[in-house]
Amino acid sequence: MSGQKQTPVKRIPNGVKFLFGGAAGMGATFFVQPLDLVKNRMQLSGMGGEAREHKTSFHAVRSILKNEGIFGIYSGLSAGLLRQATYTTTRLGIYTILFDMVSGDGKPPNFFTKAAIGMTAGAIGAFVGTPAEISLIRMTADGRMPAESRRNYKNVFDALIRITKEEGVVTLWRGCIPTVARAMVVNAAQLASYSQAKQFLLSTSYFQDNILCHFGASMISGLVTTAASMPVDIAKTRIQNMRIVDGKPEYKGALDVLVNVVRKEGFFSLWKGFTPYYARLGPHTVLTFIFLEQMNKIYAIYVLQDKRASGGL
């Protein structure tokens, strides 16, 4: 009947979406921080023309355990958690808001729209998260340095305070451009490929909207994202860890890093650390999206009283 009022669609409040995004990323970080450490060490190995410290990821793990102990594998955890609290909170919160805005009549947007909103969310999140990112890079790199050259940050807040005091507040955003570029690539690939992979899996007769489907979509998304983002990531990592020698930075910019890596270490060195990167990004993607989907679903069912709710990505 035309006089009937349509029941308004209940949506998760934007503040809750931001909270869930950050909580999901921080939960995943507890599991994958050691892999992030190994990835960073692999990418810094060979920096400045020095001999490569680690030929394989397994060699890197063995070296860390031998030289820094069992707790050394969790170096930089506080920075990793703050990075998720800033970067992931912002990017996933903005992505889910934009996703809802462009979803007409309950239909998901097409792949290119997903990629565009993923890039937007990633760029904003990366800018917010760069100070924590640079702290994470330095804290995970410290154990590979000679004792006299180590920065020895006590935790991420000590790192942020000392960087500001010793090098100026602008240094907290050093490497911001490649960080934002990487985040745009990662989020365009990760968020769009996750949504697309999930949509594809649900179109088959083998999957339902459950944890198994979220796991499969996350692993596909992680592989696509790793291949697409590693060259930008290695540029970001080296710029954020570089030192200023006699007033001159080691690298002029991201392009200079890429040119130097290809010339001195070979083209495929742009994907150096692929195994720990995917081993980190795959599970992190899986855990983040599983946590996020489940939190969205639980909130919708128990707070919004929507018994038919799904995860919403």
| Nearest-10 crossing angle of helices 111-141, 14-44 | 50
User: Residue 47 has what pLDDT?
Assistant: 61
> Does the residue 2 lie in any domain?
no
The parts of the chain modelled with pLDDT lower than 50 are 1
> Does the residue 50 lie in any domain?
yes
> Does the residue 227 lie in any domain?
yes
Question: Side chain identity at 197, as an amino acid letter?
Answer: A
pTM for the structure as a whole: 0.69
Domain enclosing residue 78, as ranges: 14-302
User: Residue 86 has what pLDDT?
Assistant: 94
> How many other C-beta atoms can be found within 10 angstroms of the C-beta atom of residue 212?
12
Question: Side chain identity at 243, as an amino acid letter?
Answer: R
> Does the residue 1 lie in any domain?
no
CATH code for the domain in which residue 207 is found: 1.50.40.10
71: region left, alpha or beta (phi > 0 left; psi from -120 to 50 alpha): alpha
> Does the residue 6 lie in any domain?
no
Q: Domains in the chain: how many in total?
A: 1
How many CA atoms does the CB half-sphere of 197 hold within 13 Å?
22
User: Residue 77 has what pLDDT?
Assistant: 92
User: Residue 155 has what pLDDT?
Assistant: 94
> Does the residue 307 lie in any domain?
no
> Does the residue 5 lie in any domain?
no
Give the torsion sign (CA, 118, 123, 129, 134). positive
> Does the residue 313 lie in any domain?
no
Contacts of 121 (CB under 8 A, 6+ apart): 90, 91, 92, 94, 95, 98, 187, 191
